[in-house]
Every structure is written in structure tokens, then in C-alpha cells.
Amino acid sequence: MINYFLRCLGKTQLALALVLFSVCTLSVAQAESLSALHVNGLEDGVRLGEHFQVWHDLEGKADLADAIAAYRLDKFSRLPSKGSTGLQPGAFWSVFYLHNDSDKPITLNLEYVDHQLIYLNAYQRNTNDPSFLEIADLALNNSFSERLVSHQRFVVPVELAAGETHQFYFRFGSDEKGFVFPDLRIWQPDKMHYVQSIELGSIAFLVGGLALMSIISLVTGIATNDKTYYAYFVYAATKLATWPTILGFTHMFFIREDFHWSYMSLTGAMSIMTGVIFARIFLQTKVNTPRLDYVLRFMILNAALLAVAALTRETVFSVVLITIALLLYPMLAIASLIRWYQGSRESAVYTLGWTVLIVGLFSQALRDLGLVEHTFVTYYWPVVASYSEMMVIMVAMGIHLFRLRRLKEQAELRYRSQLERAKQELEILVSERTHALEVAKSEAEREARTDPLTGINNRRSFMAKAEAMFDSCRNRSHPMTMLMFDIDHFKKINDNHGHAAGDKALKKFASTLESEIRDGDVLGRLGGEEFGLALYADLDTAKHTAERLRSAVERIYVNTGVVQIRFTTSIGIALMQSEENIEQLMSLADHALYEAKDSGRNKAVVANVA
């Protein structure tokens, strides 16, 4: 038989056959160290457990041939954690064997256990056949109709003939970095659909409950004009979008085309942000726990950055920020405990609700880090905890409403005494109004000196300050230099990208110059894209400063959401000598500016003095 085989194959075919034979031999040998999981077609979510090994492809560029080679070199190993790879770059490959113990062909569904996956590829072969067949090429941003099984998580159907053993390679990929849970669940299809229907019903119940609580809170807010209820309404409304999106149901039913992982981060960020805002209002942390209130403000900032990262689709940044948010959640329970200690009864109920949520979200963070096993309980615990938290907070809101009513009754009883003190209160009010008017006057004066777009001196303020500097330097024989700036091709920015982009460019330009100059220097916007800078400096220092500012402007850019706009600036420099007033000095600098623009732009030119 071997002689016949050798005669029929040429040298190339013979070499290929020997390679395939060696792969089969090595695969069979390694199959002995990685035992097959025996299945019979009746599985109800059994996990691979110890019957799989993983290999970390750091760059995420390995294909099936690379994975097979890695397996032959014993690079695959058992997962050291309790289910998660932790936050890692690249992709992970898993390998495992399934053996059909039954006497008939079976069909199984292999379910990825979590929603945090961007790409999944799967390959299958009979151990008696060296060639692999690609059985799945799934991606989160693909149309949902392309899924092999209509399920909120990735599911790969496989078939095994009676008595056969099949080898599988699964590739789990993320954008840049992500968490991977390689331990699959194995289902008989009908049993999986039954469990899925329970999940759908539970989520529908949760969404309905959140919608009802949101509406009740809105109605109460309208009736009482209490911003606490409006804040709760917004918080509950964001959760209506958050959990279905995070768990995959939004992609399944609503955004079936062009779904992106950033939607999960964005809705999660909005839920966290509105939740912390509600907590600050409800617990009145700004007044009662001012130091802890700074932590809550940081949590709001972190959530805002998470929303920005989601919109800009910064994968690693999003994952890091969401992990920080989850780990900071216990601060809300601490704030409510302090308010409870201070005498706020509704805070006691609030503490219970947030503690339930915090335990759930904290366990999610531990689960993602591989410190807690990934099960249906730990997977849905944050969801159940979130719903429980909202219900408990509704109770706290009821207590809050009862307290408001009691306070109103007490206020009515004190009405007579308040009338008697009306004169004194009126005097205080007049004093406060007077102070407010003084503040408003100061603010109006400040606005009169400030350019409303860039926040720096306007032309009027710049001229006054520059004139004062001019007189001071002339009287004391100190050097003074005037720099005139003009943004190169600014009209093209407006024409090509719109006035909003032009405004961004002006603000970016002004903030860049302002951050690079000294406190005593005077910067102002003279009009349009023209700016002036008055310096206490000699000519050499002024030229150095101009070049430094020109270089700084050359490095900045404006992000329009579609493209990044870069621009340059031309600069005219004039040293105070025999000029009689600031206008003459500015005129010299202005002529130098036009010379810089006429000679090619993006340069600084010193004014020629006759």
C-alpha cells in the first residue's frame, strides 16, 4: 500500500502528504494529553471545564495554521484563572475534542458564555481527517441576520456522527484589548432555546419594570417639582437602554445592522453618570459630605470620559475606564452610610439598594479579572442587582416624598412666625440681591474685556493693556516687543469644514498661545483670525518666543469628528524704539506679518526699521 502511494505521488505531493501525516500523528498524540469531552446530544449547558486548552496570540494575527503549529509545539495550556483571561491584547485560541458516545448523529450548539467578544472563528475536523473546515466567522459588527443561531451571544452549531471524535479550534478576538472567557457551554439546541426564552422573558420583565418606575418618577417630579425625581427618571431611562444593549438584545431586536461594541460602553457610561448625578442630588453630598462629593464628581468625570472613549471607539481606554467605574462604585454606599449616620432615614434604604448593586457590579469586575467563576449567576447578578437597586430606591423615594410632605406641614405651622420675621428676611434678601448685582456687574465688566469665543482679551482690553505696557516700558527704558499672529489659510478651514470647525481652530489656537506665555504678557484677539501679543522682552527673546509659539501651533490639530485639521501661523515682530504710541508699534508688527504671509507663511518675520 505504501509503495503504491509513493508511486502515485510526485515529490511535492509526497512532501505535503508527509506533513499532513505528521500533523495527524502529533494531533493524535496530543489528544491523549487533552482528553475528549464525551457528549450524547442531551447536553443542557455543560461546560468544557478541563477539556480545553488556550494559547495567547499576542498580536492577534495568527491564523489556523499558526494555531496548529503552536499546539504541536505545546504552546497551548490550561487557563490559570477561573474563566477569564483578564484584560489582554490580541486574540486567544482554544482547542478541545468532542466525542459522540451515542449511536446516532447529533447536533450541538456551542455557546460563548459572555457578551464581551468582538470576533469568533471556529474550525472543526474529524480526528481521522487531517483537513479542517471553517464552521463559524462571527463578528459583533456584522448584521445579526448573519448569525448561525439567532441568539444574543455567539453560538456555533456543530454536528458529530455516531462514535466520532472531532477536534475544534476556536479563535476569540477583541479590538486591541479585551476580556475573553474561552470555556464554552454545550447545548442540545431545544434546551438552549428554552433557556434563551427564559432569559428573554426575564429581560422583558426587567425592562417593563424600569419603564414603569421611570414613568412614576417623572409624574411625581412634575407634581412636586422636585429635581430628585427628574434625576431618577433620567437614571431609570438610561438603564432601559443600558442592560438590553450590554446583554446583546438591542443588537438582536433593534440595531440589527452596523452594531458596534461602543454602544455598550456608551449606554453603560450614561447609566453610571446619571446614577452618580442622582446620588449626589438625593444624598445632597455637596452640602453634607463635601469631601466625598469630590470623589463622586470624579466618578462623573470618569463616566464622561468613558462616553467620549465610546464615541471615539477607543477600545483599551473604554475597558480601563469601565473597570475603574465598577471599582469606584462602593463610594456610593459609603456616602449613603454617612448620610444615614447624619440622620437621613431614606439614606438607610438607599444604602441597602446601592449595596446590592455594588456587590453585583463589583463581582462583575472580579469576574472579568478572572477572580470569580463565570456562571449564569455571576453573569446576571449585576442585572438583578441593578433592578433590585432601582426598586429599593423607589422605596427610599417614597420615604423622601413622605418627609417632604411632613416638612410642608411643619412649614405651614411656622408660617405665622415667619411673617413676623419677614422684615428681617427682607433686609437679608435686599442685601443678597445687592451682592448679586455687584457680582453681576463684575461679571459684565469681565465679559466686556473678554473675547466670548476664545476667552482671552478682546481688542478693546488688549489695546488698553498693551498701551499701559507701552507707556511703562518707554518711561522706564525697558524693552517691549509686539507680535502679530494670523492663522494661515483660515478661510479655507471655514469653507471646507464649516464655521464650527473654524471656531474650534480659533479656540485651540488661543488656548495654545495662552498656555505658552508668561503671566505678565498680554494676549488678545484683534478680530477674525488675527491675534496680538505684547511682551516685556528684547528682540532676541521675542524671536525665540515667536518661533516657540509657531512650532507649538504647528503641532496642534482640531478634531472635527471626520478629519483632523492641522494649521500653521504667520508672525510679525516689532521692537519698540521711537514709536509715539502703541498703534505705530502694532502697525510695524502688522507690516512684518504681511511680509511673513507673502513670503510663504508659517514663519516669523521681524519688522524692518528705517
Taking only the tens place, the pLDDT of each residue in 52-94 is 999 999 999 999 999 999 999 999 999 988 889 988 999 999 9
259 in the Ramachandran plot: left (φ > 0), alpha (ψ -120 to 50) or beta? beta
Judge whether 37-187 and 459-606 match in fold.
Answer: no
**AA identity, residue 515:** S
Residue-level length of the chain: 610
- Tell me the Ramachandran region of residue 166: left when phi exceeds 0, alpha when psi lies from -120 to 50, beta otherwise: beta
Q: What is the pLDDT of residue 422?
A: 73
145 sits in which H/E element: none
- Find out if CATH 2.60.40.2380 is the number for domain 37-187: yes
Angstrom distance (rounded) from CA 410 to CA 334: 31
**Strand 604-606 versus strand 564-566 pairing type:** unpaired
Percent of the chain with pLDDT over 70: 93
Residue 357 burial by CB count (10 A; 0-12/13-18/19+): exposed, middle or buried? Answer: buried
Tens of pLDDT along 35-56?
999 999 999 999 999 999 999 9
Nine cell digits for residue 564: 483632523
Q: Which residues pair with 570 in a beta bridge?
A: 486
Query: According to the 3-state scheme, what is the secondary structure of 461-472?
Result: HHHHHHHHHHHH
Kindly report, residue by residue over 386-412, the tens digit of the pLDDT.
787 778 777 777 776 777 777 777 777
Can you read off the three cell numbers belonging to residue 26? 502529533
Q: Mention every residue, 6+ apart, whose C-beta is less than 8 A from residue 539.
A: 479, 481, 573, 575, 606
Rounded to an integer, what distance in angstroms lies between the CA atom of residue 298 and that of residue 491? 39
Is pLDDT of 21 > 70? no
Residue 190 has a pLDDT of 97
Is the pLDDT at 375 greater than 90? The verdict is no
Q: Could you tell me which residues are beta bridge partners of residue 309? A: none
Q: What is the spatial distance between Cα 587 and Cα 136, in angstroms, rounded to a whole number?
A: 72
Q: Cell 457528549 identifies what position?
A: 39
Instruction: Report pLDDT for 582.
Output: 92
Statement: residue 204 has pLDDT above 60: yes
- pLDDT band at residue 610, thresholds of 50, 70 and 90? low
Closest Cα to residue 113, out of 83, 149, 150? 83
| Of the candidates 274, 114, 288, the residue with the CA atom closest to the CA atom of residue 184 | 114
More confident residue, 578 or 444: 578
The answer, yes or no, to whether residue 348 has pLDDT greater than 90, is: no
Higher pLDDT, 269 or 66: 66
- C-alpha angle 24-25-28 in degrees, rounded to nearest 5: 80
Reply yes or no on whether the pLDDT at 1 is more than 80.
no
The DSSP bridge partners found for residue 185 are 47, 111
Q: How far apart are CA 271 and CA 329, in angstroms?
A: 12
**Full DSSP string of 140-160:** TTS-GGG-SS--SS-EEEEEE
Q: Please check whether residue 365 is in contact with residue 374, taking contact to mean a CB–CB distance below 8 angstroms.
A: no
Low-confidence winner among 157-171, 211-225, 563-577, 595-609 (lowest mean pLDDT):
211-225
Domain boundaries, the chain: 37-187, 193-412, 459-606
Q: What is the mean pLDDT of the chain?
A: 86
Say what the alpha-carbon torsion angle 521, 527, 530, 534 is, to the nearest 10 degrees. -20
- End-to-end alpha carbon distance in the chain: 104
pLDDT at residue number 20: 39
Within its chain, how far is the Cα of 272 from the centroid? 11
7 pLDDT higher than 60: no
The candidate with the shortest Cα–Cα distance to 522, out of 511, 512, 509, 536, is 536
Q: Say if CB 300 and CB 276 are below 8 A apart.
A: yes
- Note whether 209 and 201 are within 8 A (CB): no
Enumerate the H helices of 369-458 as residue ranges. Answer: 376-413, 415-420, 422-449
Q: Give the least confident one: 120-124, 206-210, 422-426, 487-491.
A: 422-426
pLDDT of res. 4: 30
CA 351 to chain centre: 27
d(CA 488, CA 502): 12
Q: b/e string for 133-144 if b means 16 or more Cβ within 10 A?
A: eebbebebeeeb
Q: What is the C-alpha to C-alpha distance for residues 135 and 115, in angstroms, rounded to an integer?
A: 20
Q: Which residue has the cell 496548529?
A: 68
Q: Which CATH class is domain 193-412?
A: mainly alpha
Cα–Cα dist 205/190, whole Å: 23
- Lowest average pLDDT, out of 128-137, 316-325, 536-545, goes to 316-325
Q: 414-448 burial string, b = 16+ CB within 10 Å, else e?
A: eeeeeeeeeeeeeeeeeeeeeeeeeeeeeeeeeee
Neighbours of 556 (CB within 10 A): 15
The fourth-level CATH superfamily of domain 459-606 is Reverse transcriptase/Diguanylate cyclase domain (3.30.70.270)
In whole angstroms, give the CA distance from residue 220 to residue 228. 10
Is the pLDDT assigned to residue 164 strictly greater than 60?
yes
What backbone torsions phi and psi does residue 602 show, to the nearest 5 degrees? 55, 45
Instruction: Report the 10 Å Cβ neighbour count for 527.
Output: 11
